[in-house]
Amino acid sequence: MASEAQAQKGHDIVGFLTPPTAYEDQMIDHGAIVRAVERQVGPYGTLGRQSTYNPRRRTYFGISDTYVPAPALWRHDVWNNVGESPATWEHVRAAAPALKAAGYPLGVGLSNEPDSNIGLLDLLAAFGSFLQHEDNTLAIDSPATVEAVKFMVDLQRRGQTDEVFGWNQASNNQFVFSGRGSLIVNAISAVRMAEDLQLPVADNLWIWPLPAGPHGRLALPQSTNIYSIWKFARNRETAEKFLADLCIGAEQTTIASKLYNLPSFPGAIAAARLRQVAAADTHRPRGKYSILTTVAARDTRNAGFPGTTNPAVDETLDRFLIPRMFAQVAQGKLSAADSVRSTAREMKQIWAKWKTAGRV
């Protein structure tokens, strides 16, 4: 991507798994494509819109055809043995000691990798803490953030192992596949792989909404599939038509992906058709994927919600400031208040830099 941007030549369309805010200046305004899709299938979903729209410039730097939810994946059998379910974070905390004592610890990452970003931002949202406000101004330095950090530190002590401080992006999947893990936050690819490999845990690996917190429940996607057209594209008209057709035809993508991908334009697949596809899955327990047809669409939001995804949000995630904020408290290096305050100072510099650049 960087080489093509520098050379001002290359592909017409480039694809990303996260919003390409770093290349915004190099992309066309995709507003006409968004409107063409909306005329066929209805409104752009909130997640897709806020992942590709710059409200300051009033332009779209890309368009999203689908996104990948990251629900809670949990071992129903071992949770059932301790008489609990991960309905809320308080339920998780209550079950944690018994699960860990039975040899099935929890698996919320606290390391410098993307899955830790997702799980911890989900936890923050459950406590009413967000990176930024709706107007994209910084919001992390709040009592809600301190409360969430304290909660996670307690959960780490009660129900996790220190392995989570050194995890990479594959670790939580391996944790579940080994038979040890009792809960992770991840895309359904982990469940699908367990089924394909016929692992012993497959039938007991259930899919649920994320645990609710005092502020409710919101979730980041595992990925947001976004395509952008370079300003120097040689076949711009055809590229625009292709992306419109791709988004309009997202029903095919959803079905072919076995519900791993869901449409960013919700009207691309009828709700009844989506429920039918989920209900037709024959893996045990029957109906395990139906949760994706309701709660996933309702709860999943863009990185940076309630604001839009922007370069300041991306830099914060790329530098893994949020996992560090939690980990240095869990490891006894700082108090929760000091860690939040220190992280907020770094993020303030990031927001100021991108505001000066006219990007936030």
Task: Identify the band that residue 239 occupies on the pLDDT scale cut at 50, 70 and 90.
Answer: very high
Name the pLDDT band for 183 (thresholds 50, 70, 90).
very high
Tens of pLDDT, residue by residue over 187-224, are 999 999 999 999 999 999 999 999 999 999 999 999 99
What percentage of the chain exceeds 70 in pLDDT? Answer: 100
User: pLDDT for 61-117, tens place per residue?
Assistant: 999 999 999 999 999 999 999 999 999 999 999 999 999 999 999 999 999 999 999
pTM of the full structure: 0.95
AA letter at 185: V
Torsion, CA 309, CA 313, CA 319, CA 321, rounded to 10: -130
For residue 206, the cross-strand partners are: 74
- Please report which confidence band the pLDDT of residue 295 belongs to, taking 50, 70 and 90 as the band edges: confident
Mean pLDDT of the 12-37 span: 96
Query: Is the pLDDT assigned to residue 142 strictly greater than 80?
Result: yes
Q: What is the pLDDT of residue 225?
A: 97
Where in the chain are all domains bearing CATH 3.40.190.10? 2-67+224-299, 72-219+319-356
Contact (Cβ atoms closer than 8 angstroms) between residue 148 and residue 155: no
| Residue of 153, 199, 206 lying closest to 184 (CA atoms) | 206
The residue type of 279 is: A
For 137, the 3-state DSSP assignment is coil
Q: Which residues pair with 126 in a beta bridge?
A: none
Residue 46 pLDDT > 90: yes
- Please, which pLDDT band fits residue 332 given cuts at 50, 70 and 90? very high
Question: Which residue reads 């895309």 in tokens?
Answer: 187
Tell me the fold of 72-219+319-356: D-Maltodextrin-Binding Protein; domain 2 (3.40.190)
The predicted structure's pLDDT at residue 319: 97
Instruction: Indicate whether 33 pLDDT > 80.
Output: yes
293 has pLDDT over 90: no
Architecture of domain 2-67+224-299: 3-Layer(aba) Sandwich (3.40)
Query: Average pLDDT for residues 342-354, to the nearest whole number?
Result: 97
Specify which residues 213 forms β-bridges with: 216
